Structure 1
């Protein structure tokens, strides 16, 4: 009986694993097309405090998780600022290549936007090792072993950014090789 409760998560993980490491977006690449309407949105940096009671939490930010360090995380803390969700896997070389630029953007827009990594497709120990080796510990990185947050945002492969404006509206979904262009997208949302 207990095995049945794990079946949906196992099937989702298997499906995500089969897509392999994401490739650059483009026709025939197997990646979903990038959606970019960043003219009105912005990207995030590490959250500093929970959303105030006067801030409405959009549906997109109604999720909870656990950081790779085992601390609880509530997506509601991201409300009111542009947010970048970076979906990555610890064994993915393209994800590792995105690390430096993602960390730079998180630092550059700290206090103005949120950046949160959402790790999947592996175990928490591997995720924690990736955070240390890729030097992306300056912003929250969630351990999404069950794939719940990935499913919420309809992510089917790693190496994908989802950028939300301050109201929680998705303004970009796609791959940015080595994170190039991320700073520009976030700048438009905070500026």
Structure 2
């Protein structure tokens, strides 16, 4: 009887891990929403999340504080966050082991290409080794974008990101809005139009 109970518990745990997908830090915990994104904002009033997702005020640092970093990039070089202040930018937060991030990567790359010269798309990679991040970029076709390596999680934290994938839309006013969860190409387009280019 005890062995049967243990088998049932093990099966339930395995199912929970499969359902969680690319949830919280380290791939454990609650999965990110799949049918829309949840939003939090900094420096502005909260806006409606994707597909009616819940939203709230960002609890992280101010926009200037969030961009107060210098970090290495995938493939070499570095990026100074201050150069993004007041620029139309979309930050895409991903992890190299995240299957959801890998699945949405081609769409993100296509969207970045469509907005080239208007809005810069930058990946923010975390929770992995640099070699794995390089492989992810090369194999997903996202090598046309710059990708920041968030070595200690401080950049994710500054943008109120606790799980991947997430997106942060930086406005020319210097404010930003962060959405947690997978976003379709259309949802990204809608957010770029309403949150970035509308100003």
Count, aligned residues: 155
Distance 1:71 1:21, change over 3 A: farther
Would the aligned equivalents of 1:85 and 1:117 in 2 still touch at CA under 8 Å? yes
Aligned to 1:37: 47
Aligned to 2:25: 16
Would the aligned equivalents of 2:125 and 2:147 in 1 still touch at CA under 8 Å? yes
Would the aligned equivalents of 2:34 and 2:181 in 1 still touch at CA under 8 Å? yes
**Aligned counterpart for 2:124 among listed residues 111, 118, 122:** 118
Cα deviation for residue 154 of structure 1 reads 2.5
Distance 1:160 1:113, change over 3 A: same
Distance 1:62 1:179, change over 3 A: farther
Aligned to 2:21: none
Tell which has more relative contact order, 1 or 2 (C-alpha 8 A, sep 6+).
1
TM (normalized to structure 2)? 0.67
Q: Over residues 123-169 of structure 1, what are the superposed CA-to-partner deviations in whole Å (9 max), with x where a residue is unaligned?
A: 00000000000110111111113212112222111111111211221
* Structure 1 segment 55-70 matched on structure 2, within 5 A: 58-70=64-76
Based on CA coordinates, which of the two structures has the bigger radius of gyration? 2
2:138 corresponds to 1:109? no
Distance 1:97 1:180, change over 3 A: farther
Aligned to 2:7: none
Aligned to 2:167: 161
Q: Over residues 78-111 of structure 1, what are the superposed CA-to-partner deviations in whole Å (9 max), with x where a residue is unaligned?
A: 2332221111011111101221121122111122
Structure 2 unmatched ranges of 5 or more: 1-23, 41-45, 49-62
Cα RMSD over matched residues? 2.6
**Aligned counterpart for 2:89 among listed residues 76, 83, 89:** 83
Give secondary structure in 2 for the equivalent of 1:81.
coil
Structure 1 unmatched ranges of 5 or more: 1-14, 39-56
